[in-house]
Amino acid sequence: MGLTEIRNVCEVSLNIPAEKQEKLHNRWHPDIPFAGTIKNGETVKIECVDWTGGQIGNNNSADDMKNVDLTRIHYLSGPFEIETAEPGDVLLVEIMDVQPHDKHPWGFTGIFDKNNGGGFLDEIYPTAAKAIWDFEGIYCSSRHIPHVKFPGLIHPGILGCAPSAEVLATWNKREGELIAANKLDRIVAQPPEPENVHAGSASEDIKAKVGREGARTIPGRPEHGGNCDIKNLSRGSKVYLPVHVKGAKFSVGDLHFSQGDGEISFCGAIEMSGIVTINFKVMKNGIADLGMKSPIYLPGPVEPHYGPGRYLTFEGFSVDEHGKQHYMDVTVAYRQTILRCIEYLRRFGYSDYQVYLLLSCAPVQGHVAGIVDIPNACTTLGLPMDIFDFDISPTGPAKKLDMGSCAFETGVKEGKVTSGGANSEHSFGGGLTFKEKTNVVENLKEKVMGS
Amino acid sequence: MGLTEIRNVCEVSLNIPAEKQEKLHNRWHPDIPFAGTIKNGETVKIECVDWTGGQIGNNNSADDMKNVDLTRIHYLSGPFEIETAEPGDVLLVEIMDVQPHDKHPWGFTGIFDKNNGGGFLDEIYPTAAKAIWDFEGIYCSSRHIPHVKFPGLIHPGILGCAPSAEVLATWNKREGELIAANKLDRIVAQPPEPENVHAGSASEDIKAKVGREGARTIPGRPEHGGNCDIKNLSRGSKVYLPVHVKGAKFSVGDLHFSQGDGEISFCGAIEMSGIVTINFKVMKNGIADLGMKSPIYLPGPVEPHYGPGRYLTFEGFSVDEHGKQHYMDVTVAYRQTILRCIEYLRRFGYSDYQVYLLLSCAPVQGHVAGIVDIPNACTTLGLPMDIFDFDISPTGPAKKLDMGSCAFETGVKEGKVTSGGANSEHSFGGGLTFKEKTNVVENLKEKVMGS
Amino acid sequence: MGLTEIRNVCEVSLNIPAEKQEKLHNRWHPDIPFAGTIKNGETVKIECVDWTGGQIGNNNSADDMKNVDLTRIHYLSGPFEIETAEPGDVLLVEIMDVQPHDKHPWGFTGIFDKNNGGGFLDEIYPTAAKAIWDFEGIYCSSRHIPHVKFPGLIHPGILGCAPSAEVLATWNKREGELIAANKLDRIVAQPPEPENVHAGSASEDIKAKVGREGARTIPGRPEHGGNCDIKNLSRGSKVYLPVHVKGAKFSVGDLHFSQGDGEISFCGAIEMSGIVTINFKVMKNGIADLGMKSPIYLPGPVEPHYGPGRYLTFEGFSVDEHGKQHYMDVTVAYRQTILRCIEYLRRFGYSDYQVYLLLSCAPVQGHVAGIVDIPNACTTLGLPMDIFDFDISPTGPAKKLDMGSCAFETGVKEGKVTSGGANSEHSFGGGLTFKEKTNVVENLKEKVMGS
Amino acid sequence: MGLTEIRNVCEVSLNIPAEKQEKLHNRWHPDIPFAGTIKNGETVKIECVDWTGGQIGNNNSADDMKNVDLTRIHYLSGPFEIETAEPGDVLLVEIMDVQPHDKHPWGFTGIFDKNNGGGFLDEIYPTAAKAIWDFEGIYCSSRHIPHVKFPGLIHPGILGCAPSAEVLATWNKREGELIAANKLDRIVAQPPEPENVHAGSASEDIKAKVGREGARTIPGRPEHGGNCDIKNLSRGSKVYLPVHVKGAKFSVGDLHFSQGDGEISFCGAIEMSGIVTINFKVMKNGIADLGMKSPIYLPGPVEPHYGPGRYLTFEGFSVDEHGKQHYMDVTVAYRQTILRCIEYLRRFGYSDYQVYLLLSCAPVQGHVAGIVDIPNACTTLGLPMDIFDFDISPTGPAKKLDMGSCAFETGVKEGKVTSGGANSEHSFGGGLTFKEKTNVVENLKEKVMGS
C-alpha cells in the first residue's frame, strides 16, 4: 500500500517548558536515556524546539537576548537508539527535510551582549540586538532588516551521536586544559555545568552525573560533529557520523532557517523550532572502512544558487582594525573581511548592527582563499546581491534608504549604537566591569582545576 | 571594421632570464618605471612568466623545488600606466581571459622544503616534492598524480596597483614589527631584500632603492590586494582595485591554471606562464564612493560547476593533531580538515604527498563553517568527486590502485616519505639544523631593526 | 508582532468528493463565483486536490488509470478575487512554497489507455500503466520503478486568471475550428463538456452555462497560461499573469511533486494533492506596460542542480520510427529523442513502460537544439544520472538488474507489454475498435459544429 | 618530459579560398579521402574555417549575407582516420577546447534573405541582416546590438563520422521522398548538389561522384549527428558517435562562439573560424554495447551559469500569430515563444531584427514544457537577464535606449524594416517573385525524381 505517513518519534510542545519535556536534553553524555528507538533504514520525523528552549520572543526588544540564560542551551531532541548500531559503525544520516512548525512561522537572529555570550565582533559591537524573521514558504524577511528576502538554506545546526565515556573524558581534559591556561580577558570554553542541566528522562542520580561530567553542547567536536553549524548541511544532505556507544544515541537540534558561513554573531543563524525528517542507515565497521576521524558529508542537490557572478565578494587579510600585523591568522582575516562588508552596506543606510545580524544569517559564502603567503592569510566573503530588492552592485556612491532599526535592549537607541561601528570608540558595553569579567574567567579556571 | 587583434602590451620570453626582461619586476615599489601605457577602457593582452621566472623544469626530480631561490619571486608583468587613473580612484579590472602559452602547455605544483619556503603542512610533510601537469585545452592531468583530470579555474594569483610611498612605509613598519617580535621557530614575514631585486627598466639608483625599500610580493595586503591567490578570481571576474599612485602602476602575474582554496602547499597552484587579457576602466573617486579599504570583486559566470551533491565534504576543528585544544583558531581547524581528506584519499593508494599536492591545486572549496562556538572553530573542505576517474564516494573499504609517485628530490624515495604522514615520526627534514634555522630568523630580525 | 500564521483560504477534503466542494471547479469560465477574497500584497495558503479529484488509488493496479473519467478533470482551487485587480492589470504571483499534504505523502504517475486520454507515445505504448511514488521530505521513490530517487521540482501544473467572455469565445471558436477540420484518427481537442461540470458554488443556471461554454482545463492557452505544465515554475518563481476580469478570478491546481520537460505520458507528472503558498501583487496596467500577450515568469533560486556534466543527453531528429523524413517537426524529433533514452535504459532491465513513466516525471531537460537545419529539427533530452543508485554512464554493455514492474490493468502482464516496445508489433491496445474511435472523433466534430 | 605541444592535424588558411584547401570538404560521402590520421587516445588540434568559407565580411553591410552561396556550405575539416575504428564501434570525442583564431577575434550572426536560405521567422522577417561580434577573451559584444555582452558557450556546430554507402543511400532516399512530396511554398530539403562540391584531395572522378551522391551538410541526421547545432556541446563535452566506415572518417566544423537553443535565424550562431582541440577514443563494439541509434553526449562542467532566477522566461503555445489553432505543434509554439520575447525587448528600443539576431546567438534556453495537453504544445524561452548592461526585469514601462542598427543590405533602412515586425504587413521581401520561388521548389523535385 505504500507510505501513508511518516512516523514522528519526537513530538515537542512549544508551550511546555523545555526542561519539562523528556525527549529533550542539553548536555552530551553517554548515560542520558534513550528517547525512542528507530529502525536501521527507517525514515522518521523529529520535532525540535529552538536552541534556547523558547527564551526569545517575537517582539521588538532585545532584553531577552541580553539576558539569555546560556546554562540552558542547547535543547536537543533525543538521544535516539538506532537499532543495530554499535561502536565502530558509521551512522549514515540523510536529511530528507527540515521545516519550521506550521503554526510558528518565524525565527530570530541575535547578537548577545559581550558579557553574556558575545560573538565574533563583540569587541566592536558589544550590545545585544535582535531581528525577527517571518517565514513565508521558502522565503524569509524581517521587519528589523528591511529590503532583503531570501530562501532558507534550512538545516540543523547540531547533530551527532553521544560520546562514549572515554571520548567524553578526552573532551573534558582537553578543554579543561585550555581553560586552565587561559590568559585572555574572555571565556574561552565552557566546562561541565550542573546548573539547569537537563538529561531527558534520567533519574536524579544520572542527571546529577550528567551535570558534573556532561559536555556542553556549544562547540562542535572532531570525534562526533555536534554543533558544527555547517550551513550547507541542508535538505538532501547525507552525513556520516561515527558511532561511539551501543545504539548510537543520536541527537539533533538547533534548527536554522538560514545561516551564513561562520554564523558570526553566535546566535547568528535564523533560530527556530521545527521538524526534521531523517533517514537512518547503519554502516557496519564504517569508521575503519572509511578511515574516519571526524564526520564527513555530501550536500544535497537543492541549495539556492544565484550564479557565481551574483556574489559581491569582499577580501580580508590578517591585519587587524588597529593596523597590527598578525601571522597567518585566518580568524583575524575573516573578521576583517566581514568588516569590509559592513562598511560597504552601511553606505545604503543600514546600521552596523543590522548588517552584523544579516551577515550572520544570510547565505554568505566564507572562503579560505590564501593561507600560505606569509604573513597574511586572506579570506573572502561572497554576498549574494539577489537577496536585496535594490541594486547593491559597485557602481558609484550609494543612495541611503530608510532602513528602520533592529531591536535593542530597553533604553539603547540605534543612533547611539551606530555612532560606534568599526571606526570609533564605544561608550557602552553592558553590565559587567572588567573586574567582574576577570572573576568569571577565574571561576571557570577553578572549576576545571578542581580547586 | 571592428576588432581585428587585441594589443599585446607585454611580450615576454620563456628563453631569456626573467631578470633581463624590462617589463618584469619582483618587488612592490612606487618608483619602478612604467612598462607601458594602457588607455582607460582598453582591453589588452599581457604575457606573464611563471612566478619563479622559470626555475622549475618539466622533469621528474624535485631538486629544483628544494633549491628554489625565493629572493627572486614573484616576477610580475608591469607596472602599467592606466591613463587618467589617480590616487583615490578605483581601477576596474575585468579579466577577459587567461590562457597558458600555446607552446608551453604544462605547469607545476610544488611542495617546498620546510627550510626553504615551507607550506601549510610543513611540520608533517617537510620534504620538497613536485607534480607536473599537462594541459589539453580546458583540462589538466598529471603523470605524478594519476586518475585525476579537471578543468582549470584559471586565474592570476597576483594583481594590484603599486603602493604609494606612504602605503609602502606602513607595510614595512607593520611587517617589521611582526618580524621583530617573532618568537616562533620559523620565518613569519619577509622584509625588503636587495638580493636579486628586479625593478624593470629602473636605473641602478632606483633599483637599489627598490631593493632597500620594496615590499616583497609574497603576502597579499589589504591596501591593494596583490598576492591574494583567490581561485575564483577567474575568467570573467571584475576586480575593483584601489589606486594609490598617478597612473595606477598596475602589475599582474603568478598565473595559475588551477588552485584549491588556501593554496596549501605554498607553491600549491598549478603554476604556469601564460597570457592574461584584461579590460581596464577607471572609476573616478571610487575609493570614497565605494567606501573601499580592500579590493572587492565579482566572479565571472563560467566557473566549473559540479552540483553541490558532488562535493565530498570534510570537517575539521581547532583541536590539533596532538590532541591539543586551541581557542577559535580557524588556521588549526583548516589544517585538520585537510588532514582528514588526506587520510581519506590515502586509502585508495595515493601517497600523502600526492594528496597534499592535489588539494593545493584542484578546485577544492574551503569554507569557514562555524566561528563562534567556543572553543572550536569548524571549517569544511569540499572535494569534487568528479575529478577522479574512479568512484571515491564513501561506500565502504577502499580498493587501492597503483598510483605511482610524485617527484622528489634526488635520493628521497616515496616509500620513506609516506611512512611519515600525519600519524608518525619523520626521520628526515632537509638540510638546516634547528640552530641554523634559528639563525635565519634572527637575521631577519636584525634586518628589520637595523641593527 | 509579526507573522504568526499564514491564512488558508481554501481548505479541501480528501474524503469528500471533489464535485461536492464549493471551492473547487473544473472548467474555465468568467461566471464561476468567487471562492474567496485575497488582498493585494497578501500571502495565503491554498489547498488543492489532485487533478483527477481522487480517482487514482495508492495500489498496484492500473485499472483506475485505464478507466479514468476525463470529463471530471482538472479540479482547480478557486477562483479567488484579488482585490484591486482589473482587466489590463498583471497579477504577479509568487510561489512561496508547494507541499504535499502531510497525511498524504504519495503521488502517482500514469499512462492512459490510448483510447482514453492517450499520451505522447501512445501509438507505441497504448496500455494503461501506473507508478506510485512515496514522498520522504524533498525526495520521492517508487516501488514500481526501483533504483531511482530524486528531489521534487515541485510546482503547480495549472495557474491562471479566468478568461473574459471575449477571450472564452476566442478559445471556443479557435479550438472548434481545429476539431471541425480534424482528419486524424484521434481526438485533437476537447470542446466544452457539460458532463460532470463543476462550477464551484454556482447556481444551477450558471452551472449549466459553464457546462455549455466553459473551456476545458486540459490545454494551456496563450491568453492566460492555465495548464502550462512548466516544471521549473517551482518554489520561489514569480509568474506574471494577464488579468481579464475584475478581481482576476485566479485559480490554481494540478500540483506536481515533479515532472519532466514535456510531461510526456500526459498523466506524466507525479500528481498529488497538497498546499500551495502564494503571494499576490497587482501590477496596474501591467499588460500594456510589459507588452504582454502570454504569461512570463522568473524561476526561483532553489531548483535541484547536478552540474551540467551529470546530464546524459540524448539527441533526436525529425525522422520517425518508420524511417520517414518529416520537415522541421520538433514534435517528431522530441518523440525520437525520448525513444533513444528508452532504448538506452532498457538495457539495465527496466521495461519500456517503466522508462516512459520515469521520463514523464523525473526532472529531465528537454531542449530545442536546432530548428533551422532543413529538413531535420534536432532536440535533446538531458537525463540526470544522479537520480539512479547505480551507474548509468556510457561505459560499455549494461548489466541488467531486477527492476520488478510498474502497475498495469488487471490481466495485462509486464512480459507481454514489454515484448512490444519501440521496435515491434503490438498485439494489444485496449477496448475501442478503430471504428469506435472514429465515432468519438466524429461526435466531437458534431458538437463543435452544432449539428 | 611530458607534453610540450599538441599536434595540429589541420592547418587552414584564412587567405586561401576554402575550395583550394585539401583538408576541407563540404559534403558527406564515404569516398572523400582521409585528410590525416589520428591515433586512438590522441589529443590533436584541428583548425576550421567559418561555415561559409569566408563569404561574410567584418563590415556594416548585409549584402554578403543576402547573396551567400549556399551550395558551398559547410566547409568541414577532415575527414580524419582514427586508428583502429571500425563500423560498429563508437568514437568517443572529448572536446578539450574551442578557440577563435588569435588573429581573427570576431564572428558574425546573420539573417538570410527569405528566398536564399531563410530562417525560422522568415515569413515575418524576410530581409537579410547581419551583426558582427568582437571577441575579447571569453566575452563577445557587437556594435550592431549594443548593451549586451556575454561569455561564449563555444562549440562546434557540426561533428560526425562519414556515412557508409548504405547509410548515405538511406539519407538520399528519405529526403528525396520528402522533396518529391513537397507541397509547401518553400524548399524543404536539399538533395545532392554537384555545384561547388569540394571533396578534399579527391580525384576528379571521386569528386564528381561526391557531387552526385554526397549528402548536404545542412541537416543533422540521426545516424551520425552532423549539424546538430547543440549549444551545450561545448568545452569539456564527451560525444559518443557511431562509426560507419573503417577509420571513422571524422569531420568537424561550423564553429560557434555562441548560440541560442534553436539557432533560429539559421545563420544564427556567432559563426567563426577557429581551432578545436579534441581527444579521440575508440569504444570497440560500442553501438551494440550502448544500444545506440543516434549520438549521445555528456556536457562539460564549465558552462556559463547565472542561477535559475536570472532567466526571464517566455511562454508560447501552438496558436499561431494569425490566431489559428494548431494541434500539438512544438514548432509553432516555439515560434510564438520567440515572438513574445521580441515584443518584450522591442520596448527597450531594439529593432525586431536586432532581437531576432540576438536570440539566435545568445545562450537562451529553449525548453519543451508541455507536449501532451491537447491541442496546445507549450514551450518556454529563458533569456539570461545578466547579458544586458541595463535592467530588463519586468517592473513596469520600459525606457527606450538608443540601440543603433544592425547591418542590412544596401538600400534597406532600419526604419522601413522595423515598421514591419510581428504585427504588421511587410512591403518588402527580396528578389524572387512567388513564381520564381515555385520554380526553385519544382527544380528540386525534378532533381530528386530524376525527371
Above pLDDT 70, what percent of chain B? 91
Using CB atoms within 10 Å of the CB of residue A428, give its burial: 0 to 12 exposed, 13 to 18 middle, 19+ buried: exposed
* Domain that includes residue B271, residue range: 7-298
Within a domain: residue A424?
no
Distance CA A106, CA A261 (A): 21
Distance CA A220, CA A49 (A): 19
Within a domain: residue D426?
no
- The CB-based long-range contact list for B183-189 (8 Å cut-off, 24+ gap) reads B184/A327, B184/B441, B185/B434, B185/B437, B185/B438, B185/B441, B186/B118, B186/B437, B186/B441, B187/A374, B187/B118, B187/B440, B187/B441, B187/B444, B188/A327, B188/A328, B188/A374, B188/A375, B189/A325, B189/A327, B189/A374, B189/A375, B189/B219, B189/B444
A422: cell is 568599526
Q: Which residues of B touch D3 (CB under 8 A)?
A: 105-106, 134-136
Q: Chains near C, with 3+ CB pairs < 8 A?
A: A, B, D
D386: cell is 545578466
Backbone φ and ψ for B19, nearest 5 degrees, come out as -70, -10
Q: What is the pLDDT of residues A410-429, one digit of tens each?
A: 888 765 564 344 443 333 33
Residue C439's pLDDT is what? 64
Above pLDDT 90, what percent of chain B? 87
Residue C414's pLDDT is what? 65
Element of type H or E holding D224: none
Residues C395 and C292 grouped into a single domain:
no
Residues A411 and A291 grouped into a single domain:
no
Q: Which residues of D touch C308 (CB under 8 A)?
A: 232, 299-301, 303
Contact yes or no for A155/A95 (Cβ under 8 A): yes
Omega before C79 cis (within 30°)?
Answer: yes
Check C3 against A386: CB less than 8 A apart.
no
Residue B109's DSSP bridge partners are B131
Residue C431's pLDDT is what? 33
The residue among C299, C239, C237 whose CA lies nearest residue C93 is C239
Burial D375-401 (b: 16+ CB within 10 A, else e): bbbbbbbbbbbbbbeeebebeeebeee
**Spatial CB neighbours of B15, under 8 Å, sequence gap ≥ 6:** none
Residues C157 and C274 grouped into a single domain:
yes
* Grid cell 514522528 in the structure block, residue: A8
Mean pLDDT (chain D) is: 92
Within a domain: residue B431?
no
Q: Which residues of A touch B175 (CB under 8 A)?
A: 325, 375
Q: What is the pLDDT of residues A166-207, one digit of tens each?
A: 999 999 999 999 999 999 888 999 999 999 999 999 999 999
Nearest CA in chain D to B97: D137
Residue B305's pLDDT is what? 87
Residue D34's pLDDT is what? 98
Distance CA C116, CA C69 (A): 8
Q: Residue C261, Cα to own-chain centre: how many angstroms?
A: 10
- Mind telling me how many Å the CA of B304 is from chain C's nearest CA? 9
Residues D344 and D257 grouped into a single domain:
no
Residues D145 and D284 grouped into a single domain:
yes
Q: Which residues of A touch D391 (CB under 8 A)?
A: 391
Packing angle, helices B330-346 and A330-346, rounded to 10: 120
Residues D328 and D226 grouped into a single domain:
no
Within a domain: residue C440?
no
Amino acid identity of residue D346, one-letter, is R
Which of B375-379, C6-10, C200-204, D303-307 is least confident?
D303-307
Backbone φ and ψ for A397, nearest 5 degrees, come out as -60, 145
Nearest CA in chain B to C304: B307
Q: Check residues D439 and C266 and name the one with the higher pLDDT.
A: C266
The residue among A238, A275, A270 whose CA lies nearest residue C151 is A238
The residue among C253, C251, C62, C56 whose CA lies nearest residue C161 is C251
3-state helix, strand, coil in chain D (%, to 5): 20, 30, 50
Q: Where a domain ends, among C242, C274, C298?
A: C298
Contact yes or no for B44/B38 (Cβ under 8 A): yes
Residue C26's pLDDT is what? 98
D365: cell is 534556453
Residues with pLDDT less than 50, chain A: 1, 418-437, 451
pLDDT at B434 over 80: no
The residue among A266, A275, A185 whose CA lies nearest residue A229 is A266
Contact yes or no for A407/A129 (Cβ under 8 A): yes
Residues C45 and C78 grouped into a single domain:
yes
Residues D219 and D143 grouped into a single domain:
yes
Q: Where a domain ends, among D298, D321, D346?
A: D298
- Mind telling me how many Å the CA of C377 is from chain A's nearest CA? 31
3-state helix, strand, coil in chain C (%, to 5): 20, 30, 50
Q: Looking at residue B347, which CATH number applies to its domain?
A: 3.10.28.20
Q: Looking at residue B93, which CATH number applies to its domain?
A: 2.60.120.580
**Spatial CB neighbours of A400, under 8 Å, sequence gap ≥ 6:** A347, A348, A349
Residues A282 and A315 grouped into a single domain:
no
Backbone φ and ψ for C358, nearest 5 degrees, come out as -65, -45
Distance CA A160, CA A297 (A): 12
pLDDT band at residue D449 under the 50/70/90 scheme: low
Q: Which residues of D touch C316 (CB under 8 A)?
A: 222, 294
Contact yes or no for D199/D210 (Cβ under 8 A): yes
Within a domain: residue D168?
yes
**Spatial CB neighbours of B413, under 8 Å, sequence gap ≥ 6:** none
Backbone φ and ψ for C64, nearest 5 degrees, come out as -65, -35
| A-C contacts at Cβ under 8 angstroms | 110
**Spatial CB neighbours of D96, under 8 Å, sequence gap ≥ 6:** B136, B137, B138, B139, D43, D235, D236, D277, D278, D279
pLDDT at D374 over 70: yes
Q: Chains near B, with 3+ CB pairs < 8 A?
A: A, C, D
Within a domain: residue B115?
yes
C78: cell is 478557486
A120: cell is 565574533
Nearest CA in chain B to C150: B309
3-state helix, strand, coil in chain B (%, to 5): 20, 30, 50
**Spatial CB neighbours of A291, under 8 Å, sequence gap ≥ 6:** B343, B344, B346, B347, B398
φ/ψ bin of A349: left (φ > 0), alpha (ψ from -120 to 50), beta (otherwise)? left
Residues C130 and C225 grouped into a single domain:
yes
Residue A185's pLDDT is what? 85
Mean pLDDT (chain A) is: 92
Within a domain: residue D1?
no
Residues B314 and B404 grouped into a single domain:
yes
Check D371 against C230: CB less than 8 A apart.
no
Q: What is the pLDDT of residues A227-273, one digit of tens each?
A: 999 999 999 999 999 999 999 999 999 999 999 999 999 999 999 99
Q: What is the pLDDT of residues B206-235, one digit of tens each?
A: 999 999 999 999 999 999 999 999 999 999
Distance CA C384, CA C362 (A): 9
| C-D contacts at Cβ under 8 angstroms | 318
- Mind telling me how many Å the CA of B450 is from chain A's nearest CA? 19
Q: Check residues B2 and C372 and name the one with the higher pLDDT.
A: C372
Residues D276 and D340 grouped into a single domain:
no
Within a domain: residue C435?
no
Distance CA B421, CA B334 (A): 17
Element of type H or E holding A82: strand A76-82
pLDDT at B435 over 80: no
Contact yes or no for B244/B224 (Cβ under 8 A): yes
Omega before D304 cis (within 30°)?
Answer: no
Instruction: Taking residues D278-289, report their average pLDDT.
Output: 97
Specify the number of domains making up chain D. Answer: 2
Q: Where a domain ends, among B298, B329, B349?
A: B298
Residues with pLDDT less than 70, chain C: 1-3, 414-441, 444, 448-451
Q: Check residues B442 and C401 and name the one with the higher pLDDT.
A: C401
- Mind telling me how many Å the CA of A296 is from chain C's nearest CA? 19
Check D299 against C309: CB less than 8 A apart.
yes
